[in-house]
Structure 1
């Protein structure tokens, strides 16, 4: 399941607390000659093809996570499918390019520029003279004005989810002609290009009733290559058809059917031939890749590693014999089935028939999936570890920094991305991704992984390694034992009879600090690579107990042993780690296990709780019922606007509660707020970029949220489907999607010789 809260172009992340003046921030990378923004780590993979190679007509059946509750992208219950529909049927002044940067959309906009800055900022939009709504009316100033009034925040009768940017507009007027729109701002606004995308007609934005209810299930007036034909809640699908009044390149497809299909059911729908395009999980991708075989000679399957060898876990090597049986096993089976022992022969014959049917079923699945291929890239979104700083141990910045310094982010990125053959680089910014203008690696403000520094931070905060701990009410030791709700019983943490974890004297330096290696012998994360079983976690999981436990004083612990659990005031440091439990969340659970092992090595315990997907964000993350949590946020081309409410310092509400807005870590500073405000108010792009990079460095230093890796994007696509798949940063071009003409990859048939 994708835990990304996606609005029309919203990006939501966690903000971190930074005590002003405590930490020095390194010089901005933006001051060097080399642009630190770099390039996107992975290109889009959409089987790009010229329009001339695509046949006219056809229906694209596209799996989505849900049929949206509303088609109004500015309402709070809008989702990713709402955004997808808006992209296909409504005007957008700017689109995202392959680097995640805004580019003028010529289908709607001939030009847009700032024409005045004093005394007020004025932007003049010149619209494409062919741009009309589906009812024939020209797109113009009345539509811009209606959207501004609805989203300005002045009229509370409009149930809007956000008004960022629109609240800075003073007035909107008709320009020198009907094709000009003149927008005057009361305050300078750097992200003015974020506005009016999507643009709704005045029929939707003109009144509160129309805004609140009129566009939830239908859009009667549109202005894109497609129009909404129907929303069928019974069939759980939404149908888009070509817009006859569209003035741009005509849509190649007749219809796009967006159908809600759960992630764990998509492979069955692909096999049944009910889908043409579906975002899938790694397990399904492996099945599709094995069935499809190599996409191009010499390049390996879609899940091959960068060096052309099968990626770990990709199933790249063929199993010998039917159903993975060796030749010797097959020969023995034949001999038993045809032998003199009638009872054994009958049993083996039945077993062979069962295997034959299973093999036939597998072959049918393979054949059905052979018409698909896996298209892969990286999503414009990243997964982060959020640390709740509202209360508990993580309210102390030193403890948050200790957690951060204990983590090997490169190892975590590799665990998720390397098996898929995708670039496994940790994300270096809270505000942008590699390739976007604002991106710069600000993690240096926090520092690299360093277990010794992490333990020193804990000691400074009063958390003492190996100290005595109190018994809990149920008699268990509170010594940092890791638990999950899947545990059948609570076990005492490894340690001496008095609850003290004994550390070998040979493992300490002159200062009494633990200097053992941070990596275990089984795997980088303490996981047995053959069985997949976790070791450590504060439990006696192997014969002889955990390394160092119950050993005579002075006995050296093995390499990779967990550090002594840290305690303060008689209480062990144990963090509540909340995770989703549904299909598609396996990657998060794998990462969580590795994080728990890394924290154990500095003496921090974790209690893992797996909760249903539907309650994960609302009842735990948003409500603050967690210490550690993993979830993803999309990247934004306009971080000054979109990230501001995510990092804003929470303020007390009128009823005495804390208004956190979208700041789910519940900490913030005036300094970070000021940097965002300055970036939002300057029209100099270089200055705004440097201010945002500076803000990101301070967020890193506070360790309120830790970006880990860019999310993988795996899409199963019918092999003759062009210009669709793993889009990466770029906004899809819906009118160019379609099926290739007959012939290899849509190649035109050779012309017959003239007579």
Structure 2
């Protein structure tokens, strides 16, 4: 996620992951009577229940990826768990509704509005008179002013991730009384609602030392339905406890325990009763579904498969011949072999018994599903090579069937397979409009015509590639294979003379790989890596392993000036990448049909963003961005035109495709400085149309959101856009039936 706010700026559910709880307040951003608002493609799925149906007490164990390095969400190493903690224990002036739109948070704010525009913009905040910090001090102007000074960018001693919006503030003053805060802007700022969410106490923001260090490991002062009880790094958990000083609806739960559990171990942790709430991968989804089906069938076994053999787990592929051989060895004259065989069979039986127990326990869980407020895109590097020509980029875009790709990912999950039509918003948000028509849909003939116009012709002379050009890909291949566990090549490629880690995808690779990735926060990648790279490092990426594919295709090679049209498709080699592997294979097949060959190069996760995406060493890549409630502010660095830096390098900010225009920059600048919401929204949509036309990135699909939840847990699950209402989460009262789940239509 972008480390510049909680849930509002980088609308990631927790970035993600973390979103819930409806608010009965009027939307701030309205549409004209002629304008039809879009709706979210899928509803949240949280088993909603009224507060009187939720039991008082209990502890909710919630699986997270890691114990956070910092609890200060404005620092560059903040993560999804930092966001979760901040949402539960700190003030936010606004939170997001089911459409991803900012709404006044009434527990902290009675109202906020622009009261002056001339000579300068002034926003007046009227705070809830009950709002106090846990030490009893009123929340007020001193806290707002301290946060502004820390995040304004004027003092480099503050180690902030970014300063957008705060750098436009001129001064902050007390209003007519202690409950009023007047914020005066030096320059107009349309996205002023993005500020002060979360709000930290002046004790944290008051000095650089306090900002940089005091809130990393603990929060002495809070102001939410929960307080921070403990960060247990040895036990890999963060413990939140109900706040005695909270003035709103008291939290139903006694505690929320955020427990770090690796994704591959979450099904076992759920079955063991160690957690009740967890984002899961497709394997766990399948296991929970299997357990539910087995439980619904009288006499059904969670292990039963065709012919009575185990459907999953050890022993599932044991043939009759293998079983006979095993019996013969176990009962033969070779005592040593018999002992080994008996030992193996005992181990097999124990594994099957353990699996059966886990499957029985998983019947107590269900999978709640929605769509993340984030989209996956195909990035096209326009800095050099064939894709520097806009016609070639447009040809790539016109060759791709985005609806098919969305269907591959979302249809198996029963989620709407609708391609994303905007770079800057998702369906349901105010700024959303399908502007893909500025580029055009899938059209093979048009793609081929664009390639021909760019000088790429079929059957042209192709110069032989020099071996020296393969050194780098060979090096990267070794790094990628090491990270992937040296999984080796698929059969059928043994005849290649040199195994250099670069594969040319041809017609035979249809990309029909199975599996759907679970939510592993790819929605955060673009913004997360932008922040990490400023500190000289990048963590692993969630994206597909490189996949070997047959080289020969029926389509004639396109060539120009002796060079074949081949694009390097760079993909990380880390685990958990089934869906993206499928998507990459399908894209490669689609491009091959118009004569564009792809060389799939797998690289280590650690080098993916740092050494390839950020440095421009790729032609095609797959990664995602979160949708923002404030695109004029947050999307600008992603699509800004790169400019030369003082040292002669190219400053790309977060625009890893290196494709940008002066016109798009002007539209962003106008949108962020326009206080008329309708005009600002119109400018954002115009900017999106220009971004589509430039074909630097192609939005594909909104990411699925899968959450395994114990059946009696309510008001929690797949939150979609909404910020979670932590005080309403809990366990259903005994004898009460949960509300019907949404259809997701």
State the TM bucket, normalised to the shorter chain.
0.7 to 0.9
Q: Which residue of 2 aligns with 1:25?
A: none
C-alpha spacing 1:207/1:359, structure 2 compared with 1 (3 Å) = closer
Structure 1 portions without partners, runs of 5+:
14-29, 298-314, 478-482, 494-500, 502-518, 541-545, 547-560, 748-755
Q: Which residue of 2 aligns with 1:46?
A: 46
Contact 1:537/1:605 (CA < 8 Å) preserved in 2? no
Contact 2:511/2:581 (CA < 8 Å) preserved in 1? no
Q: Which residue of 2 aligns with 1:55?
A: 55
Alpha-carbon distance between aligned partners in 2 of 1:317 and 1:114, rounded to the nearest angstrom = 64
What TM-score, normalized by structure 1, do the two folds share? 0.80
- 2:110 alignment partner, SS class: strand
Give the drift of 1:625: 2.1
Contact 2:547/2:602 (CA < 8 Å) preserved in 1? no
C-alpha spacing 1:249/1:564, structure 2 compared with 1 (3 Å) = same
Residues 164-183 of structure 1 aligned to structure 2 (within 5 Å): 164-183=164-183
Q: Which residue of 2 aligns with 1:26?
A: none
C-alpha spacing 1:7/1:274, structure 2 compared with 1 (3 Å) = farther
Give the drift of 1:724: 0.8
1:486-517 C-alpha deviation (Å, 9 max, x unpaired): 55668499xxxxxxx9xxxxxxxxxxxxxxxx
Residues 71-470 of structure 1 aligned to structure 2 (within 5 Å): 71-293=71-293, 319-324=306-311, 359-470=352-463
Alpha-carbon distance between aligned partners in 2 of 1:629 and 1:46, rounded to the nearest angstrom = 33
Residues 672-683 of structure 1 aligned to structure 2 (within 5 Å): 672-683=664-675
C-alpha spacing 1:362/1:322, structure 2 compared with 1 (3 Å) = farther
Q: Which residue of 2 aligns with 1:20?
A: none
Give the drift of 1:183: 0.9
C-alpha spacing 1:717/1:428, structure 2 compared with 1 (3 Å) = same
1:98-134 C-alpha deviation (Å, 9 max, x unpaired): 0100110000000111111111111110000000011
Alpha-carbon distance between aligned partners in 2 of 1:38 and 1:177, rounded to the nearest angstrom = 40
Q: Which residue of 2 aligns with 1:67?
A: 67
1:538-591 C-alpha deviation (Å, 9 max, x unpaired): 525xxxxx5xxxxxxxxxxxxxx4x21212221112222122222322211111
Residues 439-518 of structure 1 aligned to structure 2 (within 5 Å): 439-474=432-467, 487=489, 491=496
Q: Which residue of 2 aligns with 1:671?
A: 663
C-alpha spacing 1:582/1:335, structure 2 compared with 1 (3 Å) = closer
C-alpha spacing 1:395/1:243, structure 2 compared with 1 (3 Å) = same
Q: Which residue of 1 aligns with 2:654?
A: 662
Give the drift of 1:43: 0.5
C-alpha spacing 1:184/1:724, structure 2 compared with 1 (3 Å) = same
Q: Which residue of 1 aligns with 2:532?
A: none
Give yes or no for the alignment of 1:695 onto 2:707.
no
Give the drift of 1:342: 8.4
CA RMSD, 1 decimal: 3.7
Contact 2:303/2:356 (CA < 8 Å) preserved in 1? no
Alpha-carbon distance between aligned partners in 2 of 1:731 and 1:242, rounded to the nearest angstrom = 18
Give the drift of 1:448: 0.9
Alpha-carbon distance between aligned partners in 1 of 2:327 and 2:205, rounded to the nearest angstrom = 78
- 2:217 alignment partner, SS class: coil
- 2:678 alignment partner, SS class: helix
C-alpha spacing 1:585/1:335, structure 2 compared with 1 (3 Å) = closer
Structure 2 portions without partners, runs of 5+:
13-30, 313-317, 471-475, 481-487, 499-503, 516-545, 740-745
Q: Which residue of 2 aligns with 1:648?
A: 640
Q: Which residue of 2 aligns with 1:505?
A: none
1:568 to 560, 566, 569: 560
1:286-336 C-alpha deviation (Å, 9 max, x unpaired): 111221349999xxxxxxxxxxxxxxxxx99964524259xxx99999999
Residues 571-650 of structure 1 aligned to structure 2 (within 5 Å): 571-650=563-642
C-alpha spacing 1:193/1:443, structure 2 compared with 1 (3 Å) = same
Alpha-carbon distance between aligned partners in 1 of 2:332 and 2:445, rounded to the nearest angstrom = 66
What TM-score, normalized by structure 2, do the two folds share? 0.81
- 1:219 alignment partner, SS class: coil
C-alpha spacing 1:153/1:738, structure 2 compared with 1 (3 Å) = same
Alpha-carbon distance between aligned partners in 2 of 1:126 and 1:386, rounded to the nearest angstrom = 44
Q: Which residue of 1 aligns with 2:530?
A: none
Contact 1:536/1:597 (CA < 8 Å) preserved in 2? no
Q: Which residue of 2 aligns with 1:310?
A: none
Alpha-carbon distance between aligned partners in 1 of 2:141 and 2:88, rounded to the nearest angstrom = 22
Give the drift of 1:593: 0.9
Give yes or no for the alignment of 1:539 onto 2:531.
no
1:608-638 C-alpha deviation (Å, 9 max, x unpaired): 2223334322332222222111111111111
- 1:323 alignment partner, SS class: coil
Alpha-carbon distance between aligned partners in 1 of 2:674 and 2:263, rounded to the nearest angstrom = 43
Contact 1:5/1:633 (CA < 8 Å) preserved in 2? no
Alpha-carbon distance between aligned partners in 1 of 2:303 and 2:332, rounded to the nearest angstrom = 39
C-alpha spacing 1:269/1:616, structure 2 compared with 1 (3 Å) = farther
Give the drift of 1:386: 0.8
Give the drift of 1:708: 0.4
Q: Which residue of 1 aligns with 2:534?
A: none
C-alpha spacing 1:334/1:224, structure 2 compared with 1 (3 Å) = closer
